[in-house]
Structure 1
Amino acid sequence: MLSKTVSEIPGTPPQAPAAATALGLLLAAHPAPAGAVTALVTALAAASGRDAHGCLLVALAVLAGQLSVGWSNDRIDLRRDVAAERGDKPLVTGTVQARTVGAAAVCALALCVPLSLASGLLAGTAHLVGVAAAWSYNLGVKATILSWLPYALAFGLLPAFVALGLPGHPWPPLWLTAAGALLGAGAHFTNVLPDIETDLAAGIRGLPQLLGRQASRSVAALALLAASVVLVLGPPGTPDTAGWAGLAVTGTLALATALPLGTRSRSRLPFLTTLALAAVDVTLLLLRGSSLT
């Protein structure tokens, strides 16, 4: 149950002073990816022609969804993280109570529903399906060979959330949906890389765990590179100099995820590289002025 407290989990440390709760709650939300995804989707909304109010609705809906996913992930994985002695997890160190994180996850999810539907029924449904896919990953799909699918679905539907909220409710072009799905799949592999050994010890048998560290690096690089190629070549017209230069940059970043480059096995650098690549991709899309419809 999400309401069970960390003190009730055998082997967990005592709760830290209450003054640290806010920081612990923030860290348990996975702020880096949550903030990055929110910023990038909001940028897409602004480029699509949404007014300030529409962009704010998009930002709040995406942020609520991301927070719910991050908090639910840490709450659901608490026992596993305790067993793995994950000192980087606020729930494991007792910085924040499990009941607090569980309640925050439920509240964020509840807020996500009206915030998503405020952009329209079709747009809101697209976003909520993506959030549901992310929750399904946390609730068990992560341990199966289809672990990549929730990421691909959730990221692939983000352009639809933006486009379907525009007048006429147009569906985004197929190339944009495909690029989002490829980017999501690549992000899944780079996000899992640091935890492959502990996941295997805990019985998690997702696709990256089954493939192993180096094969997962290669798959991540291919998916991320494919996403960039689709974003550069997918829009009508011939790519300009900025497009080719951007593809060179994203290609280099994708290659960096495939090479250990002396990084520690638990390094989060590949995932941070993925976030940087996504930012470059969205920037290229905006510079080309490509329509989302």
Structure 2
Amino acid sequence: MAAIRALIRASHPGPAVLVTTVAVLLGVGFGRTPADIVLIGLAVMAGQLSIGWHNDHLDLDRDLAAARLDKPLATGEIPAGAVRWAVAVSAVACVVFSLLTGPAGGVLHIAAVASAWSYNQFYKHTPWSVLPFVFSFGLLPAFVAGGPTAAPWWTVLAGGLLGGGAHFANVLPDLADDAATGVRGLPHRFGRLGSELTAAGLLLAAAIILAVAIGRWYALTGLAVAVIAIPVGLWLGRNHGGRMVFRTVMALALVDVVLLVAGSASVTA
């Protein structure tokens, strides 16, 4: 049981569950059948697990150098071979479940997962680190809707902006550890303040696109909340600690997710 718990922790379960939940809710919003929604959830979960395990396997040397006690591979709780098998099994499951949702959408999801793998393998250390996030998150609504033309263009654009903002927000807690082990993605080149502002700007842009496209009172209310939250969060961060900025950015990402799901539902309403 301890090994299974360690394997789950190595998969980055938080992001995996979050992205899977968003995909399932989008499936409901786009009016997919219950069977399709189950397959979408299984495909996205399998893909996210493969991404998390692949990331931790590649980062083993870095995590050892940084003495990361939260990484089961680095602490020796699970062997590298077990994680390699987990990556292979979850990747195959992702391909199978993705194609079972329909070939047009399934290929898009496979491409999105491959893009996330490319971040782990290549782009993480480059100025182009944000591109796989924009590409993968932009494809998610199209995959869930059933194909390249099944989702409105503004959901794809908003998804890409949300992914870009999530990248800048996600690295904020790890900037120091990443710098110590030589990771130099785009957020690291921007620095903390630059990354905070870029994350907020991308997420705000997504909220604007979604609010305008949906055009209903709840969408405009969500946009108003986002516009007010950004300067307040940045001010609190400067005066009461950087974690407030991170929490504000994550709250803004949540607003975007809610608007994206609401937007998918408005398409079929």
| TM superposition score normalised by structure 1 | 0.83
> Is residue 58 of structure 1 aligned with residue 40 of structure 2?
yes
Give the alignment partner of residue 282 of structure 1, picking from 247, 260, 264.
Answer: 260
Structure 2 residue identity aligned to 1:276: L
Do the aligned partners of residues 72 and 270 (structure 1) sit closer, same or farther apart at CA in structure 2, a change above 3 Å counting? farther
SS state of the match for residue 77, structure 2? coil
Structure 2 residue identity aligned to 1:241: W
CA contact (8 A) 2:199 2:249 kept: no
SS state of the match for residue 198, structure 1? helix
Give the alignment partner of residue 9 of structure 2, picking from 14, 24, 27.
Answer: 27
Residue 155 (structure 2) aligns with: 176
Runs of at least 5 residues in structure 1 that lack an aligned partner in the other structure? 1-18
Do the aligned partners of residues 283 and 124 (structure 1) sit closer, same or farther apart at CA in structure 2, a change above 3 Å counting? closer
What does 1:247-286 align with in structure 2 at a 5 Å threshold? Answer: 247-252=223-228, 254=230, 258=234, 260=237, 262-263=240-241, 269=247, 272-273=250-251, 276-285=254-263
Do the aligned partners of residues 24 and 278 (structure 1) sit closer, same or farther apart at CA in structure 2, a change above 3 Å counting? farther
Question: C-alpha separation between the residues in 1 aligned to 2:166 and 2:193?
Answer: 15
What does 1:57-96 align with in structure 2 at a 5 Å threshold? Answer: 57-96=39-78
Question: C-alpha separation between the residues in 1 aligned to 2:64 and 2:246?
Answer: 20
Question: C-alpha separation between the residues in 2 aligned to 1:134 and 1:204?
Answer: 17
More helix by share: 2
Do the aligned partners of residues 82 and 269 (structure 1) sit closer, same or farther apart at CA in structure 2, a change above 3 Å counting? farther
Question: C-alpha separation between the residues in 2 aligned to 1:254 and 1:290?
Answer: 26
CA contact (8 A) 2:32 2:145 kept: no
Question: C-alpha separation between the residues in 1 aligned to 2:3 and 2:229?
Answer: 36
Residue 48 (structure 1) aligns with: 30
Do the aligned partners of residues 122 and 241 (structure 1) sit closer, same or farther apart at CA in structure 2, a change above 3 Å counting? same
SS state of the match for residue 117, structure 1? helix
Do the aligned partners of residues 220 and 135 (structure 1) sit closer, same or farther apart at CA in structure 2, a change above 3 Å counting? same
Do the aligned partners of residues 78 and 255 (structure 1) sit closer, same or farther apart at CA in structure 2, a change above 3 Å counting? farther
Residue 16 (structure 1) aligns with: none
**239-248 or 212-221, larger mean C-alpha shift:** 239-248
Residue 172 (structure 2) aligns with: 193
Residue 246 (structure 1) aligns with: 222
Question: C-alpha separation between the residues in 2 aligned to 1:276 and 1:248?
Answer: 14
SS state of the match for residue 234, structure 1? helix
Calculate the aligned-residue CA RMSD, in Å. Answer: 2.4
Q: Report the alpha carbon displacement of residue 155 of structure 1 after superposing the two structures with TM.
A: 0.2
**Alpha-carbon displacement from aligned partner over 1:63-82 (angstroms, at most 9, x marks no partner):** 10011001111111011011
Do the aligned partners of residues 103 and 200 (structure 1) sit closer, same or farther apart at CA in structure 2, a change above 3 Å counting? same
Structure 1 residue identity aligned to 2:266: S
Structure 2 residue identity aligned to 1:218: L
Residue 12 (structure 1) aligns with: none
| TM superposition score normalised by structure 2 | 0.90
Residue 212 (structure 1) aligns with: 191
Question: C-alpha separation between the residues in 2 aligned to 1:120 and 1:255?
Answer: 43
- Percent identical among aligned pairs is 41
CA contact (8 A) 2:119 2:132 kept: yes
Do the aligned partners of residues 232 and 275 (structure 1) sit closer, same or farther apart at CA in structure 2, a change above 3 Å counting? closer
Structure 2 residue identity aligned to 1:91: L
**Alpha-carbon displacement from aligned partner over 1:222-276 (angstroms, at most 9, x marks no partner):** 00111111111124xxx232122111233455557656363467x9746753653
Runs of at least 5 residues in structure 2 that lack an aligned partner in the other structure? none
Q: Report the alpha carbon displacement of residue 187 of structure 1 after superposing the two structures with TM.
A: 0.4
Question: C-alpha separation between the residues in 2 aligned to 1:90 and 1:256?
Answer: 37
